[in-house]
Amino acid sequence: MQDLIHNPNETFYKEYLPASEPIQNPGFLNSSELSFFLSFFKKKFPNHGFGLANKLFFILCPFDFPELKEILAPKLSSIFGEFYIYSDINLDPVPQSSDFFIYQTKIFMPHTDSITHIPGYLHYKDVILPLAVDKDKHTSTYVCDQRYYGRASHLMHGKKCNKTTKYSNIFRKHTYDYYGVEGVQKNHKNQVSTDWLNTNIGNVIPHSFFRGLSIKRMFKWIPGSIIIQDPSLIHGPTNYKLHGANWKLGISIRIFKKNIKWQPNTIFSRYKPSCNLLKTKILPSLDK
Ligand SMILES: [Fe+2]
């Protein structure tokens, strides 16, 4: 069972980003904007789509499309003021994917998405825009009490596999406090209950991934709403398949702020980039 730690000398950002509570606001996109985003995704996917393992499907960099930027940029500025996105500020030879439409047909593990290696730019917030869910079924995302102030990481305690990623760490071997995850429940008293796991996750991912974690908030997947959370917060999707849905679609954006004091260790990865996104034209149906 191997961990994957891309930068053992990672600079942690705790002192640069005071912890704040995650929030969700309805009506970030109005109904005509929402329909526009859905038809945009359908129309553009054949020429701009990427797939991962035939389970996750992406259109990258929504801000590269002027018709989307025109809608998103002023709305996000009104919340965050001056902000930057990864594609504007990175100098990475093989960039990480950071902002995207994501059509998911799989349930993935608890994780964080932080990008920590860009001097002068601090990853300030994660933004999630739910757009649709199969058959309009109920689903949600969860946010844990636990925080991790290093780069994006996949929490997969106890998993025996050799999965690698281009940028994210993978914690498999030790309990999460070993890696610096804060707030890990050690006595198992307050950690995620078997009931919660059975109702929200089922058997799609091992329950050992949740060892020492506890749930702070659940956010309903409400199309048109905006979810804003600190990148340090461990989070993930609940299993929409338990509720009869086979897919969901949303947009994920990482918001950066200029901060000249942020001078991290700049290693993108000590490993050769592996993986992962492949051009694809085949998208499972968006019909509900
Ligand atoms: Fe995420």
Domain boundaries, the chain: 14-262
**What does the pLDDT read at residue 37?**
97
Which tens digits make up the pLDDT trace of 158-189? 999 888 888 999 999 999 999 999 999 987 77
Task: List residues bridging with 235 in a β-sheet.
Answer: 111, 143
Q: Report the C-alpha gap between 245 and 265 in whole angstroms.
A: 42
Structure tokens at 208: 């050992």
Yes or no: say if 264 and 119 are a contact pair by the CB < 8 Å rule. Answer: yes
Which residue type is seen at 39? S
User: Does residue 279 have a pLDDT over 70?
Assistant: no
State the number of CA atoms in the 13 A half-sphere of 220 facing the CB.
Answer: 9
CA 54 – ligand 1 centroid, Å = 19
pTM over 0.85: yes
How many other β-carbons are positioned within 10 Å of the β-carbon of residue 29? 22
Third-level CATH fold of 14-262: Jelly Rolls (2.60.120)
Yes or no: say if 236 and 227 are a contact pair by the CB < 8 Å rule. Answer: no
CA 75 – ligand 1 centroid, Å = 21
Which tens digits make up the pLDDT trace of 202-258? 999 999 999 999 999 999 999 999 999 999 999 999 999 999 999 999 999 999 999
CA 141 – ligand 1 centroid, Å = 9
Question: Is the preceding omega at residue 276 within 30 degrees of 0, hence cis?
Answer: yes
- How confident is the prediction for the chain on average, in pLDDT? 93
CA 112 – ligand 1 centroid, Å = 6
CA 208 – ligand 1 centroid, Å = 19
| Average pLDDT of the residues in 81-86 | 97
State the number of CA atoms in the 13 A half-sphere of 190 facing the CB.
Answer: 11
Burial of 49 (0-12, 13-18, 19+ CB in 10 A): buried
Per-residue pLDDT band for 278 (boundaries 50, 70, 90) equals low
CA 114 – ligand 1 centroid, Å = 9
Helix axes 31-48, 66-80, angle to 10 degrees: 130
Pick from 178, 86, 174: nearest CA to 126: 86
Task: List residues bridging with 258 in a β-sheet.
Answer: 121
CA 139 – ligand 1 centroid, Å = 15
| Average pLDDT of the residues in 47-66 | 90
How many other β-carbons are positioned within 10 Å of the β-carbon of residue 202? 14
CA 26 – ligand 1 centroid, Å = 19
